[in-house]
C-alpha cells in the first residue's frame, strides 16, 4: 500500500485534475453500482454531505436510535443541515441496529405546515453500536423499498459495508442496488490510512462536491491517500473474513474467562466487533492499555474490541490472557 502511495500520479483535486482520486472515484462507483462517487476525508463527512445534498433545514431523517449519525457525528445533521431525526427502536427478537419495514410508515410526518418534512431514511450496515450487526438481505430490501414507497431518499451508511458483504458471502451491490446514496469507508477494516467516499447519482455528486468544499473537505494532492484506498479495494476485501474469524476467536476466549466481572455472548459476533460487559468499562480499558491491548469503552459498562488486518491470531490469544488478568485484578 505504501508503495502504491509513492507511485501515485498527483494533481489538484480541488481544481478537478487529480488522476489518482478520479481513478478511485470511478472504481468505487463501479464496484457499488452508482453513476459517480466523491472522495472525502471521513465517513462523517460522507454521511453529512448526503444529508446536506438531499435535505433542507426543517426536514426530518428517519434512522435507528443507535445510528452513527446520531451518536458520533457531533450533532452535524442539526448544525450543518438544520435537520431533525426520528429515532427507531429495535423490535423484539432483532439484532441491534436493525428495524422492520413496518416501523417506517408510523414515523412519517403528516404533510402540513406544522410538521417537519420526512425526507431521508438512513440504514447503517454493519451497525456499529448495534454490535457489528449485519442486515439480513431480505429485511434490508424490504426497509429500502418501504422507504422509497413513502417518498424517502434512502441513504446507506456503509462505513463497514464490505464487512457486511463478506459476512453474508454476497457482492456489496446486493445492498447498494436498493439505496439512493451510499457512504463507504476505506480506513476501517479495509486498512487505508484516510478516506471515505459518497456514491450516488451523478447530479447529486456534483452538488455534494460543492458542499465538500464548503465543509472544508477539499484536498489538494489527495491522490497520495486515494491510491491507498484503491489498493485496499483491490487487495483487502476478501481478507475481511480473517478479521471475522479472529473476532469469533476472541469472543469464545472471553467467554471462557471464569469471572463474574465479565459477560459476553460468544455467538453474537456477526462481523469484526466483539462487545462485552464489565462493571466499569473505562477503568478496564485503562488497565488493558497499560498492557498494550487497546479497546474502547462504548458505554459505562460495555467494551468494544475490533479486529482488523493488523491483528493476528496470536494477538487475539494475548488479548484474551490480558483481559483475564485485568478482570481478576
User: pLDDT digits over 268-315, tens only?
Assistant: 899 999 999 999 999 999 999 999 999 999 999 999 999 999 999 999
Q: Is the pLDDT of residue 37 over 80?
A: yes
Question: Where do the H-state alpha helices sit in the chain?
Answer: 2-7, 19-32, 43-54, 68-71, 76-81, 137-149, 161-168, 173-176, 202-214, 223-235, 240-255, 281-290, 313-328
Residue 138 confidence class, pLDDT cut points 50, 70, 90 = very high
Q: What is the pLDDT of residues 106-133, one digit of tens each?
A: 999 999 999 999 999 999 999 999 999 9
Q: What is the pTM of this model?
A: 0.96
Delimiting residues of CATH 3.90.1150.10 domain(s) in the chain: 240-328
Strands 181-185 vs 117-124: parallel, antiparallel or unpaired = unpaired
Classify domain 2-235 at the CATH class level.
Answer: alpha beta
Residue 38 confidence class, pLDDT cut points 50, 70, 90 = very high
What does the alpha-carbon distance between residue 267 and residue 270 come to, in Å, rounded to a whole number?
8
SS3 of 218-256 = CCCCCHHHHHHHHHHHHHCCCCHHHHHHHHHHHHHHHHC
Q: Is the pLDDT of residue 328 over 90?
A: no
Q: Using alpha carbons only, give the angle 306, 71, 210 rounded to the nearest 5 degrees.
A: 100
Delimiting residues of CATH 3.40.640.10 domain(s) in the chain: 2-235
Task: Quote helix, strand, coil % in the chain, to nearest 5.
Answer: 45, 20, 40
Residue 60 confidence class, pLDDT cut points 50, 70, 90 = very high
Residues 138-142 have a mean pLDDT of 98
Q: What is the pLDDT of residues 244-265, one digit of tens each?
A: 999 999 999 999 998 878 999 8
DSSP 133: B
What does the alpha-carbon distance between residue 274 and residue 268 come to, in Å, rounded to a whole number?
8
Distance of CA 158 to the CA centre of its chain: 5
**Computed over its alpha carbons, how large is the radius of gyration of the chain?**
20
The Cα diameter of the chain in Å comes to 61
Residue 93 confidence class, pLDDT cut points 50, 70, 90 = confident
Return all residues near 203 (Cβ < 8 A) that are at least 6 apart: none
Classify domain 240-328 at the CATH class level.
Answer: alpha beta
What does the alpha-carbon distance between residue 182 and residue 157 come to, in Å, rounded to a whole number?
6
Amino acid at each position: 500500500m505504501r508503495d502504491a502511495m509513492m507511485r501515485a500520479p498527483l494533481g489538484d483535486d480541488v481544481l478537478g485534475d487529480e488522476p489518482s482520486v478520479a481513478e478511485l472515484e470511478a472504481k468505487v462507483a463501479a464496484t457499488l453500482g452508482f453513476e459517480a462517487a466523491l472522495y472525502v476525508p471521513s465517513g462523517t463527512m460522507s454521511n453529512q454531505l448526503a444529508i446536506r445534498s438531499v435535505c433542507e433545514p426543517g426536514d426530518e431523517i428517519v434512522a435507528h436510535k443507535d445510528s452513527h449519525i446520531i451518536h458520533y457525528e457531533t450533532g452535524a445533521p442539526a448544525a450543518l443541515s438544520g435537520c431533525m431525526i426520528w429515532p427507531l427502536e429495535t423490535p423484539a427478537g432483532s439484532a441491534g441496529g436493525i428495524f422492520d419495514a413496518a416501523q417506517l410508515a408510523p414515523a412519517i410526518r403528516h404533510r402540513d405546515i406544522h410538521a417537519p418534512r420526512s425526507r431521508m431514511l438512513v440504514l447503517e450496515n454493519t451497525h456499529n453500536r448495534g454490535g457489528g450487526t449485519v442486515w439480513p438481505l431480505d429485511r434490508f430490501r424490504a426497509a429500502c423499498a418501504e422507504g422509497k414507497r413513502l417518498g424517502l431518499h434512502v441513504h446507506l451508511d456503509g462505513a463497514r459495508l464490505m464487512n457486511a458483504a463478506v459476512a453474508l458471502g454476497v457482492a456489496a451491490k446486493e445492498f447498494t442496488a436498493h439505496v439512493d446514496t451510499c457512504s463507504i469507508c476505506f480506513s476501517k477494516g479495509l486498512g487505508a490510512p484516510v478516506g471515505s467516499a459518497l456514491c450516488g447519482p451523478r447530479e447529486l455528486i456534483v452538488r455534494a462536491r460543492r458542499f465538500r468544499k464548503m465543509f472544508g473537505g477539499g484536498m489538494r494532492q489527495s491522490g497520495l491517500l486515494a491510491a491507498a484506498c484503491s489498493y485496499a479495494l483491490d487487495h483487502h476485501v476478501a481478507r475481511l473474513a480473517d478479521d471475522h474469524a479472529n473476532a469469533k476467536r476472541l469472543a469464545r476466549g472471553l467467554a471462557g474467562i471464569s469471572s463474574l466481572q465479565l459477560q459476553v455472548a460468544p455467538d453474537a459476533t456477526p462481523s469484526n466487533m466483539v462487545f462485552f460487559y464489565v462493571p466499569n468499562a473505562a477503568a478496564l480499558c485503562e488497565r488493558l492499555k497499560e498492557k498494550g491491548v487497546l479497546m474502547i469503552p462504548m458505554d459505562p459498562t460495555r467494551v468494544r474490541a475490533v479486529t482488523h488486518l493488523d491483528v493476528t491470531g496470536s494477538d487475539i490469544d494475548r488479548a484474551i490472557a490480558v483481559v483475564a488478568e485485568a478482570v481478576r485484578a
